[in-house]
Amino acid sequence: MLLPAQKPIPNIPQSNLPKVVIVGAGFGGLKLARKLIKGPYQVIVLDKNNYHQFQPLFYQVATAGLEPSAISFPLRKVFHNTPNTIFRMAEVHSFDTKMKRLYTDIGFLDYDHLVLAMGADTNYFGNKSIEYNAIPMKTVSEALYIRNKIISNYERAINIEKQEDRKSLMNVVIVGGGPTGVELAGAMAELRNNVFPKDYPELNFSNMKVVLIEAGPKLLGAMSEESQKHSLKYLQDLGVDVMLDTKVHDYNGEEVKLEGKAPISTHTLLWAAGIKPNFVDGLGKEHFAPNGRIYVDEYNRVIGEDGIYVLGDVALQREENYPKGHPQVAQVALQQADNLGKNLIGLAGGKQMKQFHYKDLGSMATVGRKLAVVDLPFIKFQGLMAWLTWLFVHLMAILGVKNKMFIFMDWAWNYLSFDPSLRLLIKPKYVRASERKELIEEK
Amino acid sequence: MLLPAQKPIPNIPQSNLPKVVIVGAGFGGLKLARKLIKGPYQVIVLDKNNYHQFQPLFYQVATAGLEPSAISFPLRKVFHNTPNTIFRMAEVHSFDTKMKRLYTDIGFLDYDHLVLAMGADTNYFGNKSIEYNAIPMKTVSEALYIRNKIISNYERAINIEKQEDRKSLMNVVIVGGGPTGVELAGAMAELRNNVFPKDYPELNFSNMKVVLIEAGPKLLGAMSEESQKHSLKYLQDLGVDVMLDTKVHDYNGEEVKLEGKAPISTHTLLWAAGIKPNFVDGLGKEHFAPNGRIYVDEYNRVIGEDGIYVLGDVALQREENYPKGHPQVAQVALQQADNLGKNLIGLAGGKQMKQFHYKDLGSMATVGRKLAVVDLPFIKFQGLMAWLTWLFVHLMAILGVKNKMFIFMDWAWNYLSFDPSLRLLIKPKYVRASERKELIEEK
């Protein structure tokens, strides 16, 4: 980590308004920033990327169905003509609660209200060799990496003489039976069943295994029993080897070792088995739960601190029905941001803050073509109708008319053609000669 | 360079047909392969990428108007259900004309007919410091790199206090007044005039220079005088500093030194000033012109060699009207491929080969919104009609219905919104931990 920069971030317009600094422009941070655009604050949004990422569709980037740009939205575009809302691309290191000052790689920033909305990253639960060899999927870059990796594995496999020796390049193993794992496994199986055999007539794809491993006894643990059963059946019908009650012991890059079961050969282990909140240094140990979440009160305030708020995956907020905190999903972050936005605007007018109550709007997951499961508060359904619901809800949730339009077209194309056409190995090959050393040092 | 692999490329289906090996799937190589799909040959197409690149639109990728995937086409998709045509992703090192054997990084391959269609790469004319510091644009990766570079320059500039110190990050200098340079300069100027000021309200874009440098006395040297004049005027109206009769002496990454003129500060020097043919080892020196092109006869055969053909940018073929060889443009490669395809098919039937004659269908370049120049054999026109012609011709030339559809939508969107929305800095950030060393060694 770099030392905190010693100068203030330059070129922030002077303002008499109190300053809200938002760390992270994911679902929570971006929603809050948009909520405050016309509020009585100067709002500064910081993110390490210059775009908002729509995580629920990462798996479609990984499986060549969508382009990264379809599910990424330029943050500067959100803040056109919003003089009191400023975006900066920056990495946040730490903050000082007494000085009310935040340190970043581009300088420091003084705040009146600080909102921590950094989201979560992949959790390998301390297993270094899995961390070293597995592939995560918590950013657009990682999703694109998965796509490139799988395509280049087949381009390699085709040059190997013996069927036996190709197996580890062809097999794909996914760990984690939550929505991400289920959606990835389903999409990979569809590629194997419908697309890859046409692309690689020399390879025998009946030898390619798609394996989904879950440590617990059920897939989609947070959903209804109907959804769990249906998703399992859908995956099995697509030819996914679903292994429940199975723990990954280790992975060396070529073979997955399982507890009490035969190992599986694969160069491609996709890790969707856990998340941990991103960390910014500034609060005492007493504020952190063992899982890394930060305890907040019913107003998303860090207890005992002045003007520090936490949203979404990072926040641990207890309610009657959620004694261990809310689930780490987009809906919670969005609703908390909505409530906090109202409270911050009210605060400036001397109003009392409103408590947050999570309203579970339901959940859904898609397994494949015409196959999805939906749990709504009053109804559960599966199959074609669930799939159409899933498509509609995700299309509506994505930011920007152009993104909606292009995703709709991509989906229509993929549906009609059975041929997601983004099987391009556009690797980050080119680096300007004078920067090659720089790149190496960065890593 | 690796040593030639010692084993044959595995998994090439057995065939009694004579074998045509095509090196490079650019305009020439791909056209020839498609021409031969039903011919009496086993055709093996080799390219270092798994996609065909549509070079004429690289500049739109560089200027955030199109996604790389819109102008790249998966080669394996072209060869679905074509049992006699096989694609392999490979780097070709050399060939042995006596053994009729080609060496690649995935093994060797014996041929009956070898077609060299490797295209050309950027030519820095021996200036190492320009090569080290400038940015080329001869691949999709390089075009994407330009886009990322420019966006990250502004994200950096915004954090610099003094206007003066920001200049070199904001200025863009383009060298080479051919179609690529003209198109890049126009598109950059439009971004500066319409898009960047909204994205970066803190920066003063009237201080951003877009400079186009050409060593000769005219832009678009190969086009008509009307086109040269109009393109110059269009660029100047857009606010491009066009410097004719100006030679770049050197570039250290921060300042462009010019012969006899004041230097220009810039971190971004885009080099579109020259090309040189890609090289594969195998022919004697006597076959090469000083500019690296390979002499061929009127049938695209290498003179005095058996079964070796050269297409496109690499070929130097003289005709009455082209005593120094044809221009290195897509049209020549396409027409040569068409003729060679017919000749190879005819050859198998014992027919005599037909001589190649280049038919110049005209040329065009676009400068900006509603601004283009078109030279057709019997008519020359400029402005809106030329722009519409340019759009139509390029849309029709791009491979694949989906690519056509998406490019059309992108263009319509960009036209209506004045807002090419791909300003995403999706850097190749993620590399799996276990591969980071590999990446470093590759560079």
Which residues does chain A have within 8 Å of residue B159's beta carbon, measured at their own beta carbons? 9-11, 88, 106-107
Grouping H, G, I as helix, E, B as strand and the rest as coil, residue B21 is strand
Contact A163, A212 (CB under 8 A): no
Most B-contacting residue of A72, A76, A194, A422 (CB-CB within 10 A), to test interface = A76
Q: Does A435 touch chain B (CB under 8 A)?
A: no
In A, minimum Cα distance to B440 occurs at A440
Q: Per residue in B383-434, pLDDT tens?
A: 999 999 999 999 988 888 888 888 888 888 878 777 766 666 665 555 666 6
Predicted confidence band of residue B439 (pLDDT cuts 50, 70, 90): very low
Span A17-31, mean pLDDT?
97
Contact B47, B22 (CB under 8 A): no
Inter-chain residue contact B133 with A413, CB threshold 8 Å: no
In order of A11, B20, B40, B302, the CA distances from B350 in angstroms are 75, 17, 12, 20
Contact B374, B381 (CB under 8 A): yes
Inter-chain residue contact B10 with A155, CB threshold 8 Å: no
B125/B250 Cα distance (integer angstroms) = 12
Contact B190, B59 (CB under 8 A): no
DSSP A404: H
A192/A210 Cα distance (integer angstroms) = 9
CA distance A435 to chain B (A): 8
CA atoms within 13 A on the CB side of A326: 28
The phi-psi region of residue A281 (left if phi > 0; otherwise alpha if psi is between -120 and 50; otherwise beta) is beta
A201/B13 Cα distance (integer angstroms) = 10
In A, minimum Cα distance to B270 occurs at A432
CA distance B354 to chain A (A): 35
Complex ipTM more than 0.90, yes or no: no
Size of interface A-B (CB pairs under 8 A): 179
Handedness of CA B403, B408, B413, B419 (dihedral sign): positive
In order of A225, B28, B49, the CA distances from B118 in angstroms are 58, 9, 12
Query: Exposed, middle or buried: residue A352 (CB in 10 Å: 0-12, 13-18, 19+)?
Result: exposed
Q: Per residue in B20-35, pLDDT tens?
A: 999 999 999 999 999 9
Q: Does B432 touch chain A (CB under 8 A)?
A: yes
Inter-chain residue contact A430 with B9, CB threshold 8 Å: no
In order of A264, A436, A443, B142, B298, the CA distances from B434 in angstroms are 19, 19, 12, 26, 52
Predicted confidence band of residue A272 (pLDDT cuts 50, 70, 90): very high
CA distance B80 to chain A (A): 6
Question: Between residues A321 and A400, which one has the greater pLDDT?
Answer: A321
Inter-chain residue contact A422 with B140, CB threshold 8 Å: no
Span A194-210, mean pLDDT?
92
Predicted confidence band of residue B315 (pLDDT cuts 50, 70, 90): very high
Percentage of chain A surpassing pLDDT 70?
93
CB count, 10 Å around CB of B3? 8
CA distance B323 to chain A (A): 36
Span B278-307, mean pLDDT?
97
Handedness of CA A253, A258, A264, A270 (dihedral sign): negative
What is the bridge-based pairing of β-strands A19-23 and A42-47?
parallel
B182/B185 Cα distance (integer angstroms) = 5
Mean pLDDT is lowest, of A19-33, A390-404, B364-378, for: A390-404
Most A-contacting residue of B49, B52, B73, B159 (CB-CB within 10 A), to test interface = B159
Domains of chain B, first to last: 19-48+90-120+278-348 (3.50.50.60), 128-273+369-417 (3.50.50.100)
Which residues does chain A have within 8 Å of residue B440's beta carbon, measured at their own beta carbons? 440, 443
Q: Does B159 touch chain A (CB under 8 A)?
A: yes
Q: Does A440 touch chain B (CB under 8 A)?
A: yes
CA torsion B260→B264→B266→B272, rounded to 10°?
A: -50
